[in-house]
Amino acid sequence: MSKGRVEAFSDGVFAVAITLLIFNIQVDKAAPGELFNALMAAWPKYAAYVASFLTIGVMLMNHHGLFTRIAHLNRPLLFLNLLLLMAIVFLPFPTAQLGANILVPQDAPTAASFYAASAVLIAVFFSAFWAYLFTHPDLLSPDVDREAVLRSWPRFSIGLIAYLICVPLGQVSPIGVIIVCAAMAIYYAFERLPDISRRPADALRRPE
C-alpha cells in the first residue's frame, strides 16, 4: 500500500474522530426560559470537548510529522498505524462519559480514569509506531538522523508517563485529568520529533 493512500485513509479517520466530539455535547433544558442556565451547566462537556479536540488535532499534526520521516511502509507498520487509528477514533466515547459525569461524585472518578486510560492506549500505540521505525531504519527517510531519533525519544514519550499518572489522578481529581490532558496537547503542539533537514557533512562546509 502506498504511503499516500495510508495517509489519506488516516486523515479520514482523524476527521471522523474529531467530528464525533461535537455530538457528545447535549444540552438538557428542563423548561422554557431555562436555556441559558442549561447552556452554562453544560460547561464540563465543553471542557472535555476542548481537551479532546486539541488532543486529536495535535495527534494529527504529529502523525503527519511521523509520515514525513518515513520513506516506505511495510505490513507491521501498517498494522501499528491501524491500531493507533482504532484508539484515536474511540476517544469520543470516553470524552462523552467524562463530560456527562464529571460533576457526579459517584461516577466522576471512573469517567476520568477511563478517559485517561484511553489516552494511555493512544500513547502506547504512538510510541510503538515510533519505536518500530527506530528499530527499522530502512523504513526511515535518508534525511532523518537516527541519533536524533534516539535523542527525541524522551521528549516524545513524556505524554505516556503523564497519561499513566492521570489514571490514578482521576480517582482524586477528575478535573485535574482534563487539565493535564489539555496541557499535553499544548506540549505536543510544538515539534517533538527529530529534525529532517540533515544534510551531508560536506555540504555544511563553507567553500574556501
pLDDT of the chain along its 208 residues, tens only? 688 899 999 999 999 999 999 988 888 766 787 888 888 888 888 988 998 999 999 999 989 988 888 888 999 999 999 999 999 999 999 999 998 898 889 999 999 999 999 999 999 998 898 888 878 888 888 777 766 666 666 777 788 899 999 999 999 999 899 889 888 888 888 766 655 555 444 434 444 4
Is 7 part of a structural domain of the chain? yes
The number of distinct structural domains making up the chain is 1
Is 112 part of a structural domain of the chain? yes
Distances in Å between the alpha carbon of 34 and those of 28, 91, 102?
Answer: 9, 31, 22
Between CA 73 and CA 80 the distance in angstroms is 11
Quickly tell me which residue has 513524556 as its cell.
158
Is 208 part of a structural domain of the chain? no
pTM (2 decimals)? 0.84
Is 207 part of a structural domain of the chain? no
Is 135 part of a structural domain of the chain? yes
Domain holding 34, by residue range, is 3-197
The alpha carbon of 205 is separated from its chain's Cα centroid by a whole number of angstroms, namely 39
Is 165 part of a structural domain of the chain? yes
Is 134 part of a structural domain of the chain? yes
Quickly tell me which residue has 433544558 as its cell.
29
Partners of 70 in the beta sheet? 140
Closest C-alpha to 39, from 25, 53, 24? 25
Task: Provide CB contacts within 8 A for 137, sequence distance 6+.
Answer: 146
Is 133 part of a structural domain of the chain? yes
